[in-house]
Amino acid sequence: MRRLTRKSLRVGKYSVPTLALLAVIVGSVAAAAYVVLSFTATLTVAANPKVAFVEWATSAKKNTFDYAVNIFPSVKTVDENSTYGVWNWDTAAHTAYLRIVGITNSANIQRVYLKVHDGVSTVVSVEWLSGEALPQAWTMFTAAASKKYAVWVEVTGASGAAVGSSSVVSVEMKVEAP
Amino acid sequence: MRRRLVLGIALALAGLVSVGLAALTITYFVSVMPVVVRSPVEFAVGADSVAVIDNVNKTRASVNAKIIPLALWVSSDALRIRNVNDTVLEVRLRCLGVGDPQNVIRSVKLYLVFNATSEALAVELGNGGLIVKGESDWFGMGVGAEFGVKVETEGRDGAVEGAQAVLNLGVEVRPG
């Protein structure tokens, strides 16, 4: 290194330090070897996926909904047909999935049970029991063409559930070929 | 007479100086001759068939994504990037521009997918197309390797059906 810094090359009548000359050459090579390709992503708004939620009162499709319910310590609260259902409004069947992704203040809750049903049979259900890991893996079901399903919600409060405090159960539904 | 002599000498000197300056101007000629070569990486359509390759050289592509209000739209295999060079490369994804005139974006995430179990968040946009993460790290890409591009969108509540937003993205490539 010391020899490089001391040594100079003659370019015409000028004397140029070797290290500086090398730096210029390497810099030129590195700058040239660089390519940028580009692509565009066009995002077009679609109102709803082919399988969406449905608000029973208005028959409107929804992409999300909030469901509020009072629970009581050591008591199971059941809503066999919550205010929103699941609706495949396409003319073809779709594969869909359900999972529970999170529960806040989980000490308030002993059990959560959700199922999607058509009044006769259950197409999918997910359950969480206190002390267990959340059922975050997707549970698959097939939503038949042009069919609406009810959502059954069961929540059992823990024996020591704190009166006045709230818990939030976050549920996700995934739809293929939306 | 004397004043004329002084003026004459001054003019002669000025002429000499200007001729000297002109002589100091040297023009060197450098030729730049671009030669068409194959791009080191090329695009390919992913399994979700939401992308279109725009040219025969496979160096431009368009991804036709959907964005649904308050729901995630995911294409886990939207576009592929192939190393068609005979050397190891480094690649990164970069957001070059966002157009969201109708304010439809709640979030957009683009991932570089290396294999079935490994991916990295490359670009992230927030509300209204605000750039949260503009570029990815550089990732080594072996000879013949293929990276996927995963696109995840979420629309704002009230976004009007049919409205569009456009992202311009760059795939930057350098020797590995």
Residue A44 belongs to some domain of the structure: no
Residues A20 and A60 in one domain: no
Interval B48-103: pLDDT, tens:
999 999 999 999 999 999 999 999 999 999 999 999 999 999 999 999 999 999 99
Interval A25-79: pLDDT, tens:
444 444 456 789 999 999 999 999 999 999 999 999 999 999 999 999 999 999 9
From the list A43, A52, A178, the residue facing B164 with the nearest CB is A43
Residue B116 belongs to some domain of the structure: yes
ipTM score assigned to the predicted complex: 0.79
Q: State how far the Cα of B104 lies from the Cα of B165, in Å rounded to an integer.
A: 7
CB-CB neighbors (< 8 A) of B152 in chain A: none
CATH code for the domain in which residue B94 is found: 2.60.120
Residue B67 belongs to domain spanning: 41-175
Distance from CA of A21 to the nearest CA of B (A): 19
Residue B163 belongs to some domain of the structure: yes
Number of domains in chain B: 1
Say if B158 is an interface residue toward chain A (CB within 8 Å). Answer: no
Residue B25 belongs to some domain of the structure: no
Residues A58 and A128 in one domain: yes
Please give the interface size between A and B, counted as residue pairs whose CB atoms are below 8 Å apart: 117
Mean pLDDT for the stretch of residues A104-115: 96
Interval B152-170: pLDDT, tens:
999 999 999 999 999 999 9
Q: State how far the Cα of A151 lies from the Cα of B160, in Å rounded to an integer.
A: 28
Residue B145 belongs to some domain of the structure: yes
Structure tokens at A114: 């959700």
Residues A17 and A103 in one domain: no
Residues A15 and A82 in one domain: no
From the list A39, A42, A46, the residue facing B60 with the nearest CB is A39
Residue A151 belongs to some domain of the structure: yes
Percent residues over pLDDT 70 in chain A? 81
Interval B109-125: pLDDT, tens:
999 999 999 999 999 99
Number of domains in chain A: 2
Nearest CA in chain B to A31: B174
Say if A35 is an interface residue toward chain B (CB within 8 Å). Answer: yes
Q: Which long-range contacts (CB under 8 A, 24 or more apart) does B49-58 make?
A: B50/B75, B50/B78, B50/B151, B51/A39, B51/B78, B51/B79
Percent residues over pLDDT 90 in chain A? 79
Residue A40 belongs to some domain of the structure: no
- In chain B, DSSP finds a helix count (H) and a strand count (E) of 1, 11
State residue A123's pLDDT score: 97
Q: How many CA atoms lie within 13 A of A39 on its CB side?
A: 30
State residue A27's pLDDT score: 43
Mean pLDDT for the stretch of residues A136-155: 96
Residues A26 and A66 in one domain: no
Residue B1 belongs to some domain of the structure: no
Query: At residue B15, does pLDDT exceed 80?
Result: no
Residue A125 belongs to domain spanning: 51-175
Residues A55 and A122 in one domain: yes
The residues in B 76-135 lying below 8 A from A, measured between CB atoms, are 78-79, 96, 102, 104-105, 108, 110
